[in-house]
Structure 1
């Protein structure tokens, strides 16, 4: 059974992520763990009180989280009555990033799914801070960032942004290929830049991708940069009806060497297309 972890702050944005992943894997049974961290609330409420009151406050936060979680699970079961997923809630006073990594390591989580914004709805609450923090610290598990405005559609067209400076074996790209096989999707490898300007190393990696992806329906795109790489990718998503965009997060390669801009942050702000981020550490 596939194990999915969905952090929540009980906002509409977090619920959109939960709905999306429930539908994305509607044909298979999932174990979906809904994780609520009230670490920030603990810090705010206990900074000026004694230890005894701190424990009382934490107990109240656990109780409130359990009540909100029960309502959430009842609602998701109603909204996804045709699927047979198992849902459970975990509440913790520990930080979100620490809790996620601990669960990924101990429970064998296959995918973490987050909304692109938090309860406040501010543009940068999750996109520019929490989600990126999770991306940088997450190990051994992909992260799916789901915009609040997303309407679920079968991901028939899956974009994979690459600079071809690195070649990743298909075993590293399993989160993409599983979806491709499930939905008979087309993979669109998109490179911001001209094919004629590829270095010999980039050309070699391009050929390796072509050779390794022969069993899949694959298109290769080379597009001119307009304003910024993230803006260019946004335009590509819209003009090619991309249903999901995948990125490899490799802090020593993709983001730092070519883009010179926080691409994961900015692409994650796309208002209607989910972004799948695959952290690779070596």
Structure 2
């Protein structure tokens, strides 16, 4: 059984991401809903007014009630589906809390929402989202604000000079694509126009696709990555974007630079990050 970790701050965006995940994976998974309390979210008054309650119970009481309400609403919404859901609360740094749950519960996928660059709580690619992907060694699914679930028919996998279509991460991507009978669009982007060694080896990996699934292979030269990816997503009606994470290297080249920040802050479709 697949174990999926759903992150929530009780926002509309987080709930939307949870709904997307359940629509995508159904009832054949064990879901863990994690809420992490921040130190800035309670005051001394919360402690002083605890009365006979423990400090822990006083701080988490409202959150516990909200989590129970979320679970009740989910089970009502997805009837007659029987959902296997467990709630978890923690008081910690977000990434530390997520890492602990990933390890203790053998999590296969972390799901979270992102509000984009204008998010009131700064849940953006420069903070919580990017930190979870970067510091948690687990595949991650990020759902843009207000993106409603739809069947995944078209998937794009952008590739640059460091990405390879040979190896274990790519094999897992193929399993995912085939499980939803989707079409995979490989987008080899050469921003400076030179042909990388990884492109020369693409043929070997592509040969494994021809008889197994629907795909397209596209080479784009001398166009900034964020333009190439954004344009392709719009013109091909893409339902999901996939990236291969290569530790910190992927973020320096894809998210942290000026071109890739534009992709993160203007994400229009769900993003699945497969860890190498």
Q: TM-score, normalised by structure 1?
A: 0.84
CA distance in 1, matches of 2:263, 2:113: 13
C-alpha deviation, 1:63, in angstroms: 1.0
Output the aligned Cα RMSD: 3.0
**1:22 partnered with 2:22:** yes
Aligned-partner SS, 2:207: helix
CA distance in 2, matches of 1:268, 1:260: 9
CA distance in 2, matches of 1:232, 1:131: 23
Structure 1, unaligned runs of 5 or more: none
CA distance in 2, matches of 1:149, 1:90: 25
**1:261 partnered with 2:254:** no
How do residues 202-281 of structure 1 correspond to structure 2 at under 5 angstroms? Answer: 202-214=198-210, 215-224=212-221, 228-251=224-247, 253-256=249-252, 261=257, 266-280=262-276
Structure 1 equivalent of residue 30 of structure 2: 31
C-alpha deviation, 1:129, in angstroms: 0.5
Equivalent residue in structure 2 for 1:192, among 165, 189, 199: 189
**1:114 partnered with 2:112:** yes
CA distance in 2, matches of 1:61, 1:49: 7
How do residues 37-116 of structure 1 correspond to structure 2 at under 5 angstroms? Answer: 37-41=36-40, 45=43, 56-116=54-114
CA distance in 2, matches of 1:67, 1:260: 38
C-alpha deviation, 1:149, in angstroms: 1.6
CA distance in 2, matches of 1:79, 1:123: 27
- Give the number of aligned pairs: 272
Post-superposition CA distance 1:224-252 (Å, at most 9, x none): 555x4224312211111110000112245
Q: TM-score, normalised by structure 2?
A: 0.85
1:223–1:40 Cα change, 3 Å: farther
Contact 1:159 1:244 in 2 (8 A): yes
CA distance in 1, matches of 2:246, 2:268: 24
